[in-house]
A = this chain, B = another copy of it.
């Protein structure tokens, strides 16, 4: 018997900008033990990886033991699945190219796979979420940025160098807003936390009507959502414009990929119908006629606190399939 068959558990890790969460997970997605610590307490990546690795070993030893664990999956922004490296993250505290998977593997002694949030969440949605059983779908992660992951013929489409899915950096408005990537009119410049705040500011300048948004010093997408619920017209218009732009972008995406479903996830889709109704409307208006009415727009149902860890655990099981780090 292959020894991997006796290993019934994996470790899933979510490296967030502020909090790192790691858990022992079984093949059915049951989280058996979970712990967290502050990511930003470790500006030095070597120290961070040493602490994370040792904490994982301790958690594993207290929960079924080292011999019961098959591998480790790590979810981290700007990660490249093909290289196992965090590559030039604009948001994480560690700069440059960091061979995170290899460094963790060397310290823990288990195979380690690394992927970005959209990829991990897509794996989680396919295994346990709204994309269960689907072969061709995409996951859109709306939050700080705008990421995505494509599934084709049942497998992740990574592209030749692992950079596929950058719908956030496709141009939707030629000559439009400056994007953090240095170009103009990228979808992410409109449909992301920063994009929403910029739309709110533009609306407040463009219009003279009363809005509670004008009274708030530190606007956030969540506050704007709460103002929508209170009937604030400019807040509602902020999400309407965001949703319209997103629907147009997704229509292009669907024309190219013809997915069975587009799954929205991340913090922003929680704005609910204020965002989703305009997305739906713009999508159906702009999508190519051959696929009109064919694409399901879904919102992730995996819980906020476990979505990334769960996705990372699914990836851990797949280390062998993709022949990585063995």
Contacts and interface: CB of A to CB of B under 8 A. Distances in A.
A288 B180 CA distance: 11
Interface string A134-169: 111100000000000010110101111111111101
Interface string A173-203: 1100000011100000000000000000000
Contacts of A288: 163, 166, 169, 181, 183
A257 to B, nearest CB: 6
A258 interface: yes
A166 B248 contact: no
A41 interface: no
How many copies are assembled?
A: 2
Given A150-B256, A166-B255, A169-B288, 10 more contacts: A88-B290, A134-B160, A135-B160, A152-B155, A160-B258, A163-B294, A164-B258, A172-B174, A174-B248, A181-B288
A164 B289 contact: no
Interface residues of A, number: 46
A211 interface: no
Nearest to A134: B160
Contacts of A159: 136, 257-259, 291
Nearest to A296: B160
A94 interface: no
A167 B256 contact: yes
A286 interface: yes
Interface in A239-271: 248, 251-253, 255-260
B294 A161 contact: yes
B169 A255 contact: yes
Given A152-B152, A152-B157, A172-B174, A256 B290 contact: no
Given A153-B157, A157-B153, A257 B181 contact: no
Which of A135, A286, A290: most chain B CB closer than 10 A?
Answer: A290
A260 B157 contact: no
Nearest to A176: B174
A313 to B, nearest CB: 22
Nearest to A159: B258
